[in-house]
A = this chain, B = another copy of it.
Amino acid sequence: MGDGRTTATTHEERHTGAGRARLHEAALRLFAEHGVSGTSLQMIADALGVTKAAVYWHYRTKDEIVLGVLTPVVEDLTGVVGAARARRGPRARTEALITGLVDVVVRSRMVYVVLAGDPFIGELLGKDERLRAVVEEMTDLIAGPGHDEAQRVSALMFLAGLVGPLNHPACAAIADDDLRRHLVDGGRRLLLTRAAAKG
């Protein structure tokens, strides 16, 4: 410390810089709007007002940028899955997963849109073990073996359905508390009520 460098960063310390937060912010907005494959490093660099090479100082590959953006939410989701698994009984586990998952996705908003909605993530699942694990465990908890066909369909509807309100402009103005409540209500109706008899 005390030398001429304003931001001392070794190769391993890059992830602690403040520039990383701005990069995540810009990349995330572009990923959610155009998709990961539809977002070039040039677009990210332009949004930050820098060049591609500057972006590459923070991350060595595009995959690492995507993982860097997703990692905080992936860790939150790992906690939610663990807490839900600690409950006894499938209904209690489902209830815990609904409220925990909604809490995470509303806090992060656009991150879940990328995580659950972007086709590029499917390719990343084969490369990153933690990502693959949390997605698989989350799905298994409410749609895995032990649940019947109808419940599995409802569960997949819920997991994918969260993306709808999150990235729709009509819901951008909804306060976090209200959005959370509506999403939890929707999840309970989908997953914790019996199907009505056909009319």
Residues in A lying within 8 Å of B, measured CB to CB: 32-35, 37-38, 117-120, 122-123, 143, 149-150, 152-154, 156-165, 168, 170-171, 174, 178-179, 181-183, 185-186, 188-190, 193, 195-196, 198
Query: If A37-B34, A170-B143 touch, does A149 touch B182 (CB 8 Å cutoff)?
Result: yes
16 new A-B contacts at CB < 8 Å, known A32-B119, A185-B196: A34-B119, A34-B122, A35-B38, A38-B120, A117-B117, A117-B119, A117-B163, A149-B182, A156-B171, A157-B157, A160-B163, A160-B164, A161-B190, A185-B195, A189-B190, A190-B190
- Chain copies in the assembled complex: 2
Q: When the two chains form their complex, are residues A190 and B196 in contact, meaning their CB atoms are under 8 A apart?
A: no
The CA-CA distance from A188 to B34 in the complex, in Å, is 31
A183-B153 CB under 8 A given contacts A33-B122, A117-B117, A160-B163: yes
Contact of A157 among B122, B149, B165, B178 (CB under 8 A): B165
A152 → chain B closest CB, angstroms = 6
Q: A38-B120, A123-B34, A188-B196 are in contact. Are A154 and B182 (CB under 8 A)?
A: yes
What's the nearest-Cβ distance from chain B to residue A144, in Å? Answer: 9
What is the chain B residue whose CB lies nearest that of A196? B188
Contacts of A37 in B (CB 8 A): 34-35, 37-38
Shortest CB-to-CB span from A63 to chain B, Å, is 13
- B196/A189 in contact, CB under 8 A: yes
CA distance A160 to B171 in the complex (A): 14
The reply to whether A150 and B182 form a contact with Cβ atoms under 8 Å apart is yes
Q: Are A165 and B153 in contact (CB under 8 A)?
A: yes
| Separation of A165 and B161 alpha carbons in the complex (Å) | 10
Q: Report how far A170 CA is from B168 CA in the complex, Å.
A: 27
A178 touches B160 (CB 8 A): no
